[in-house]
Chain A
């Protein structure tokens, strides 16, 4: 296998809170290959977005910092790069789209100006060429009458259109990795499907690797090849999407999948009651304890779960789950 494009090893990110520091990302390792689509799923507050921000070097200043581990991107160690070098990578080699398309565009500039801005920041092209390129990009994200709409302000666009513009900005410099942090959470369902279609098509055309962060198991099943289930800052389960959805090994993954109605709907016709994962994600104070952090919500917990952090258990293929009972469940 070729060298992965992005290789995160034993990453640990700590947040400073009033009660001291808490590891919001605890010993996370994964690889992303060129052209691959990797998905992060998990509840809110599990460290999915933090992982993305850590890769971008955009952890909240003065509060969050990387304390251990490495992020290798394309032969460079991102955790050791200067701010200036990181800035050059951001938007050029790795770019990101955000959850809230309604507020992710600067309200005082036209969308054309915002796309051109990114192009001029990273590429040595003339302003006229940048405008032509911006029109092409808007066209590529399927905004009709692209050339005219370049002169529109964000408030003249709908939420779905704004997210398309965000994607256009993110893809402007043909990045190697696109991080999509819940790109459709704020959009309605029909628009969600369109955005996912768009992302999938663009990936095929450009070969950009996509890291998709989402709550939406359905989207993961459709979009991604591999997925990572995160819980309380740790990886609960990692592997190919088909394997994990077919045979989830970690009780948390099982819980997440059984929460989704349509994943089960085509498997069986009899209506199963929709389950939920009882309880909530532990507070930051609990993070980093030497135990299984899911134990408080797990019906299979044993004494072992409460006294030691589970080891990663490998299954055939590349699937592995961090659970003491993964093999027996």
Chain B
């Protein structure tokens, strides 16, 4: 074995450099997705949430039954008639059809109201945190004013005054819930504006607008995203609360409205109230869990767990 001539001379110098591939570091989004995946509750919640959203988008046309049509005897309990799996409400309308089309309204209002409040909150928080001084003083007093308003009452006043249309309800919910976003955004801006890369950007001649929205805001996003996700949940709850009180667009079905209109029959036919209630509960729970997962994914301080 040993005296067999070896084909390669071990002492010969290696002339060509080993062409090692540059280690491909992973994109931050992939990193975040990995962290998110580790939170199994959040993953399950995300799947359920996606199913709910799909149901909300294509459900009504797929199921095909008008939620306003009286189709069967009122108060038919679930499971009694295979045509109406979830039974009928006090007017004999199909509860499943109502819950499916209610999902659409609830989710649209949840997303749109969260968008409104994030838009207002980020703008105010960013300006306050970036400019400091009297701008901050004025904007934060303004924020505190909105913070101490009784939210439900204030949004009821808006809806009652300007009419219960979907855009107005969305606006009413958004206008009372942006303060948390504003405060988070301001706090992040106060922290980030002092960091070196902001000074470096300034030193390379970036405009204020660019510094606020191009440099600082992208770095402030993680906690804002988490807060926005939770905001969708609370907006859905808020809408349910408003429509329970009857402050809702009468031309559309929403979960809160189903509960509200059936509440007088709760003792006789509790399923008419509990079923849409379960829908709200599951949706909010899923949104909260997803928000929790996002927090894990985006907050580097929790990474080490």
Give A contacts to B, CB under 8 Å.
56, 58, 61-62, 87-92, 95-100, 103-109, 117-118, 121-122, 145, 148, 152-153, 155-156, 166, 169-170, 172
Contacts and interface: CB of A to CB of B under 8 A. Distances in A.
Interface of B is mostly: helix
Interface string B175-216: 000000000000000000001110111111111001000110
A62 B133 contact: yes
Contacts of B207: 87, 121
B150 interface: no
A166 to B, nearest CB: 7
Contact of B204 (A91, A148, A152, A156): A91
Contacts of B218: 106, 108-109
A166 B200 contact: yes
A106 B132 CA distance: 22
Contacts of B200: 96-98, 104-105, 166, 169
A170 B204 CA distance: 7
B196 A90 contact: no
B61 interface: no
B197 A90 contact: no
16 contacts: A58-B199, A87-B207, A88-B205, A90-B202, A90-B205, A95-B203, A96-B203, A98-B200, A103-B196, A104-B197, A106-B215, A107-B197, A108-B218, A152-B25, A153-B25, A170-B204
Given A103-B197, A104-B196, A106-B197, A121 B25 contact: no
Given A103-B196, A106-B215, A155 B204 contact: no
A121 B199 contact: no
Contacts of A97: 200
A106 B204 contact: no
Interface of B: 22, 25, 27-28, 132-133, 195-197, 199-207, 210, 214-215, 218-219
Contacts of B214: 117
Contacts of B132: 61-62
B28 A153 contact: yes
Contacts of B204: 90-91, 95, 117-118, 121, 169-170, 172
B201 A106 contact: yes
Contact of A56 (B133, B197, B203, B206): B203
Contacts of A109: 218
Contact of B197 (A105, A155, A156): A105
B219 A106 contact: yes
Contacts of A121: 204-207, 210
A78 B215 CA distance: 26
A92 B207 CA distance: 13
Nearest to B31: A155
Nearest to A89: B205
Contacts of B28: 108, 153, 155
Nearest to B204: A91
A187 B27 CA distance: 25
Nearest to A121: B205
A118 B207 CA distance: 11
Nearest to A103: B196
B199 A91 contact: no
Complex A-B, nearest 10 residue pairs according to Cβ-Cβ distance, in ascending order: A91-B205, A91-B204, A156-B25, A90-B205, A96-B203, A103-B196, A108-B218, A104-B200, A106-B197, A104-B196
A87 B201 contact: no
B258 to A, nearest CB: 43
B147 to A, nearest CB: 26
A122 B201 CA distance: 13
B203 A58 contact: yes
Given A153-B28, A169-B200, 16 more contacts: A62-B133, A90-B202, A90-B205, A91-B203, A91-B205, A91-B206, A96-B203, A97-B200, A98-B200, A98-B203, A104-B196, A106-B197, A122-B205, A153-B27, A169-B204, A172-B204
A148 B203 CA distance: 26
A263 to B, nearest CB: 31
B280 to A, nearest CB: 36
Most B CB contacts (10 A, CB to CB) among A117, A148, A170 go to A117
A43 B27 CA distance: 40
B197 A58 contact: no
B18 to A, nearest CB: 15
Nearest to A108: B218
Contacts of B215: 106
